[in-house]
Amino acid sequence: MKEIAAEKALEFVENGMILGLGSGSTVRIFVEKLGELVRKERLKVEVIPTSYDTEILAVKNGLKVSSLLEHPEPDLCVDGADQVDRKLNLIKGGGGALTREKIVAEASKKFYVVVDESKLVERLNMAIPVEILPFAYGFVERRLKELGYNCNLRTSVRKLGPVISDNGNYIADVEAKEVDVEKIERDFRVPGIIEHGVFPSEMVDLVIVGRRDGAEIIRK
Ligand SMILES: O=C(CO)[C@H](O)[C@H](O)COP(=O)(O)O
């Protein structure tokens, strides 16, 4: 179903485009398919990856990697999500790439999200990935606790200590009693929080949902 969504997203790619590339398994499929399309159709496309993972994959698939310095306004950003609600608010950051993902999504003229149907939820309800400056962690944890949130530093079985983001920061998964998008935007304005994984629906142009029987496009 991820493949169906990624395949559909490819239909929006045009010659000459600058494409923001998100991160995660659905985007990985998109990048492989994009590489094939660019080779077959001899398209002139440049990409701006949001993680080392996507960057390496893009290069291996023959895509020309660029940056926001050269192209501060990409034409289209394609990214996955961990949860999507009915209004098209998102939670992202399962892969810890949320900060660069939010920057590239916001910089781009269009932001299209590719998900399989398991990501659609009535209400956002998972822990929110948050990128935190290591220096500030103790303070951020305390402040979030005062505001009623529970902060869990992300770890991995493959590494001792906290997971470190591509930007050299900690990633925490923050439990909220309720994911109220506007409240999160207000409450998470804490010095030391670099970015959080709630992407408000205003950022999103459309969501492509891969289903067993084909792709569904949800617009706002
Ligand atoms: O936000 C992300 C990474 O930080 C991903 O887009 C999100 O985790 C979805 O990944 P997948 O396509 O593997 O389900």
| pLDDT tens per residue, range 53-86 | 999 999 999 999 999 999 999 999 999 999 999 9
Q: Considering just the CA atoms, what is the radius of gyration of the chain in Å?
A: 17
- Of 182, 155, 13, 149, nearest in space to 21 by CA: 13
Per-residue pLDDT of 164-197, as tens digits, reads 999 999 999 999 999 999 999 999 999 999 999 9
Rounded CA-CA distance 35/192 in Å is 38
Q: Is the pTM of this model over 0.95?
A: yes
- The alpha carbon of 37 and the centre of ligand 1 are apart by a number of angstroms equal to 23
| Average pLDDT of span 13-34 | 98
Rounded CA-CA distance 15/45 in Å is 6
The one-letter amino acid at 196: H
H/E stretch holding 183 reads helix 181-187
Check pocket membership of 21 for ligand 1, CB cut-off 6 A: no
| Average pLDDT of span 157-164 | 95
Rounded CA-CA distance 56/52 in Å is 6
Ligand 1 atom, smallest distance to 129 CA: 4
- Of 84, 77, 98, 66, nearest in space to 30 by CA: 77
Rounded CA-CA distance 116/147 in Å is 33
Which positions ≥6 away from 179 have C-beta within 8 Å? 91, 123, 124, 125, 126, 128, 198
| CATH code that applies to domain 128-196 | 3.30.70.260
> CATH: 3.40.630.30, 1.10.3720.10, 3.40.50.1360, 3.90.45.10. Which one for 2-121+200-219?
3.40.50.1360
Check pocket membership of 93 for ligand 1, CB cut-off 6 A: yes
Exposed, middle or buried: residue 97 (CB in 10 Å: 0-12, 13-18, 19+)?
buried
215: β partners: 210
Residue 130 · residue 197 · CB < 8 Å: yes
- The alpha carbon of 26 and the centre of ligand 1 are apart by a number of angstroms equal to 7
Ligand 1 atom, smallest distance to 119 CA: 14
| Average pLDDT of span 12-31 | 98
Assigned token pair, 6? 């990624």
Task: Tell me the domain boundaries of the chain.
Answer: 2-121+200-219, 128-196
- What was the pLDDT predicted at 31? 98
Check pocket membership of 79 for ligand 1, CB cut-off 6 A: yes
- What was the pLDDT predicted at 92? 98
Check pocket membership of 97 for ligand 1, CB cut-off 6 A: yes
- What was the pLDDT predicted at 220? 82
Distances (CA, A) of 96 to 2, 33, 132, 186, 195: 19, 23, 11, 21, 11
Tell me which of 55, 101, 131, 195 is the catalytic residue.
Answer: 101
Catalytic residue check, 101: yes
Q: Of 2, 3, 21, 26, which is best to mutate to test ligand 1, by the most ligand atoms within 8 angstroms of its C-beta? A: 26
- Residue 162 confidence (pLDDT) above 90: yes
H/E stretch holding 47 reads strand 46-49
Rounded CA-CA distance 42/44 in Å is 7
The one-letter amino acid at 22: G
Average model confidence (pLDDT) for the chain?
Answer: 98
Per-residue pLDDT of 103-140, as tens digits, reads 999 999 999 999 999 999 999 999 999 999 999 999 99
Check pocket membership of 23 for ligand 1, CB cut-off 6 A: yes
